[in-house]
Amino acid sequence: MTELTALVRDLQPIVGIDAVITDPTELATYDCDAYTIEKSLPTVVVLPQTTEQVVQVVRYANRVGLPIVPRGAGTGLSGGALAVKGGIVIATTRMTRILWVDTRNRRLRAQAGAVNIQLTKAVQHAGLHFAPDPSSQGACTIGGNVAENSGGPHTLKYGVTVNHVTGLQVVLPDGEVLELGGVEDEPFGYDWVGLMVGSEGTLALITEVMARLTPLPQGVRTLLAVFETLEDATQTVSDIIAAGIIPAALELMDALTLQAVEAAFGYGFPLDAEAVLLIELDGLEVELDEERERVEAICARHRAREVRRAQTPQERAKLWAARKKAIGALGRLAPSCVTQDGVIPRSKLPQVLREAFRIAARYQLQLANVFHAGDGNLHPVLLFDDADPVQVARVVEAGEAILELCLREGGSLTGEHGIGVEKCALMHQMFSASDLDTMKRIKAIFNPHDTLNPEKMFPDTRYCYEIKRKLRRAAVGL
């Protein structure tokens, strides 16, 4: 009996005959996440439906000595769900139930595989929503959002995932189940939930999430400001915030992104503008028109060519569809693209974007920008052909150069997409040796043998080193 046959024989009674994947063609679906260059096939993928099934799979993996990789919908951007040592991928995409809703106390409990947008749909009738809204919210799962501490356009005003999670059910690498947090607004004692959010599956496997629900705003105003230059658009961002106005969302799309979106969807975007700002204001209806006028005045002061207002819910939906489909639309311009995720102070947007374009030109790559301008969370998109190893090496080098630029300007390596394997080599540039050692000691308490999501986040992992060595060799062909 082969090892693979034995795995199927042992795992099918736990999760079901149709919930164990070993066919190489099907496994290829799980060999990377949304935009990770590196790929690695898992040995087997399982699709549990309950926490108890997850526990049994974890205990089985311990018995046979296989690593475990948690995975949601695979929409991540840093390789957090990459099975770098093979092993068992536990995909939560069948754990989709919303277990209970308490609208009076504004709480909801859902399994980890529930899709982000479904949380809001379950409570809209009660005038509530789940505020964090990643651009992939129609596909990404709440468990993955928790693992990466995901953000989204509206987190400028409402905060990222950690601000909206009050409790978790998790499975430790030895199969023990923990209930962390609860329905309370603030934790008592150590903030174990805060520790788990953003830990990228290296401490525990998330199976259920207790989320805080937020009232829907009484009114909304959605604007599209068109600018002749990126500098005018980015300065407008800083001045809106400096004026004491906190929009619900403040998003920027540059010229190349506009061209791709317009070619894909025909939304009527100007093709001769260097940038547009998608600005959304929400709150009490009585205050919104005055706030909108203030924003429009700031846009005019920075030479906005026009400021369009969404007059109907359909027009607003069209603008947001364009923003949330923008990176996918860029796929029309090249065989592949990689989206980076760095953060800088808002005031430094103009010079950082100029330097990012210089970096892309140095590596002979096209660069598009579509990002959360209000909180300085950049998403530079590098376009390339992933069948060309020289271009792959250029993309990696250029991406690192842009992230190093963010660090030099007082920013960080990630705003919402994590470290994974893509950015681990840069962690020592952001954290001291003492910081990294403390993180590793915390990880060792929960995951002492590195069996859960191994080789992630830290710069001295073997896999991180091997990636860099392979890509440096490819770069010799430049």
Give me the residues paired with residue 251 across strands.
Answer: 278
The pLDDT tens digits of the residues spanning 393-422 come to 999 999 999 999 999 999 999 999 999 998
In Å, what is the CA distance from 420 to each residue of 18, 83, 427, 444? 29, 11, 11, 17
Phi and psi for 159 in degrees, rounded to 5? Answer: 95, 165
SS3 of residue 164 by DSSP? helix
H or E segment and range at residue 326: helix 326-329
Tokens at 345, concatenated: 């102070």
pLDDT reported for residue 467: 62
pLDDT band at 461 (very low <50, low <70, confident <90, very high): confident
The pLDDT tens digits of the residues spanning 28-49 come to 999 999 867 788 999 999 999 9
pLDDT band at 268 (very low <50, low <70, confident <90, very high): confident
pLDDT reported for residue 468: 58
Contact in structure between 35 and 80 (CB atoms under 8 Å)? no
Tokens at 242, concatenated: 């400096």
3-state helix, strand, coil in the chain (%, to 5): 40, 20, 35
pLDDT reported for residue 466: 65
CA distance 254 to 272: 11
Say if strands 249-254 and 366-371 run parallel, antiparallel, or are unpaired. Answer: antiparallel
CA distance 168 to 142: 11
Residue 476 has pLDDT above 50, yes or no: no
Mean of pLDDT values over 177-186? 91
**Which range (97-101, 315-319, 448-452, 465-469) has the least confidence?**
465-469
CA distance 189 to 187: 6
CA distance 262 to 116: 27
Tokens at 103, concatenated: 């609208």
pLDDT band at 151 (very low <50, low <70, confident <90, very high): very high
The pLDDT tens digits of the residues spanning 223-256 come to 999 999 999 999 999 999 999 999 999 999 999 9
CA distance 404 to 402: 5
Give me the residues paired with residue 272 across strands.
Answer: none
Integer distance in angstroms from the first to the last C-alpha of the chain?
47
CA distance 294 to 292: 5
Mean per-residue pLDDT over the chain, rounded: 93
Residue 93 has pLDDT above 90, yes or no: yes
Residue 469 has pLDDT above 60, yes or no: no
SS3 of residue 312 by DSSP? coil
CA distance 435 to 432: 5
Say if strands 342-343 and 214-215 run parallel, antiparallel, or are unpaired. Answer: unpaired
Mean of pLDDT values over 2-23? 93
Residue 371 has pLDDT above 70, yes or no: yes
Axis crossing angle, helix 389-408 with helix 462-475, rounded to the nearest 10: 120
Give me the residues paired with residue 276 across strands.
Answer: 226, 253
Tokens at 128, concatenated: 């509530």
The torsion defined by the Cα of 181, 184, 187 and 193, in degrees rounded to 10, comes to 30
Residue 456 has pLDDT above 70, yes or no: yes
pLDDT band at 472 (very low <50, low <70, confident <90, very high): low
pLDDT reported for residue 266: 86
By C-alpha distance, which of 403, 445, 398 is closest to 420?
403
Domains of the chain in start order, with CATH, are: 3-91 (3.30.43.10), 98-215 (3.30.465.10), 219-329 (3.30.70.2190), 334-475 (3.30.70.2740)
The pLDDT tens digits of the residues spanning 20-31 come to 999 999 999 999
CA distance 338 to 341: 10
Tokens at 43, concatenated: 């040995």
Sequence letter at residue 30: Y
Residue 463 has pLDDT above 70, yes or no: no
